[in-house]
Amino acid sequence: MAFGLSELQYLMHQIGPSIPEIAAILQEDIDGWQIEFDDGVSMRIDWHEEPAQIVMSCAIGRADANAREPVYAALLEAKLQLTGVARVTLALGPDDDVMLIGECELADATVEALRDKVAEFLEIAAKFSLLVTGTGEAVADDPAPTDPARNIHRA
C-alpha cells in the first residue's frame, strides 16, 4: 500500500502519545502540523503530494550578530557536504532563524516509523544548532533519546 496524506493524518493523531515530550500538535492545514515540545522547541511536518513525501522543518537557532559571517560560512560548507548524502538542507528563515528542512518517505505507515523519523530529524537539528549558537561540540549519539528535542538551542 502506498503511503499518502490519509495515512499521515492518521499517524499524526497517534504520534503525541508515542512521544511523551510532545506538549501539543496543532493541525494548521489539511496537510500541515506544528508540533510543540515541552522544552519550547517546535517543528513543522507537511505532506507534499509530488513527489509523495513528508517535509519536516525546525528553527535551530539564530547566530550571534558578531558571529554571523563565520557561522553562515560554516553552514554553507555543511550544506555542500550534505548534498547527495542526506535529505536535509539548511536555510535562513524569518527573523534570521537558521532552519533545518528535511524530506523523508515512510516505508510503512506506522507510528513507530514516524516517531523514528522525527527523532532522527531532531538529532540532526540538535547537532546543527550547536554550530549555529556556538554552544559547544556536537552531541554524542544517543540510540534511545528520552527527549527528541532536548539539545536544540534557541537564541
| pLDDT: which is higher, 64 or 44 | 44
Q: What distance in Å separates the CA atoms of residue 63 and residue 23, rounded to the nearest whole number?
A: 27
The band of 146, judged by pLDDT with boundaries at 50, 70 and 90, is: very low
Collapsed DSSP state (helix, strand, coil) of residue 97: coil
Q: Does any domain span residue 150?
A: no
Strand runs (DSSP E) across 30-106, as ranges? Answer: 32-37, 42-48, 53-61, 88-92, 98-104
- 18: part of which helix (H) or strand (E)? helix 5-18
Number of domains in the chain: 1
pLDDT by residue (tens digit) across 9-61?
Answer: 999 999 998 999 999 999 999 999 999 998 888 999 999 988 889 999 999 98
CB 126 within 8 A of CB 32: no
Q: Which domain holds residue 40?
A: 5-133
User: What's the pTM value of the predicted model, to 2 decimals?
Assistant: 0.80
| pLDDT: which is higher, 15 or 75 | 15
Q: Does any domain span residue 140?
A: no
- 76: part of which helix (H) or strand (E)? helix 68-82
Share of the chain above pLDDT 70, in %: 85
The two most distant CA atoms of the chain are separated, in Å, by 51
CATH number of the CATH domain containing 112: 3.30.1460.10
Q: Does any domain span residue 148?
A: no
Contacts of the segment 68-75: beta carbons below 8 A, 24+ positions apart: 68/96, 71/98, 71/131, 71/132, 71/134, 74/131, 75/128, 75/131, 75/132
Q: Does any domain span residue 138?
A: no
Q: What distance in Å separates the CA atoms of residue 141 and residue 143, rounded to the nearest whole number?
A: 6
Collapsed DSSP state (helix, strand, coil) of residue 47: strand
CB 60 within 8 A of CB 54: no
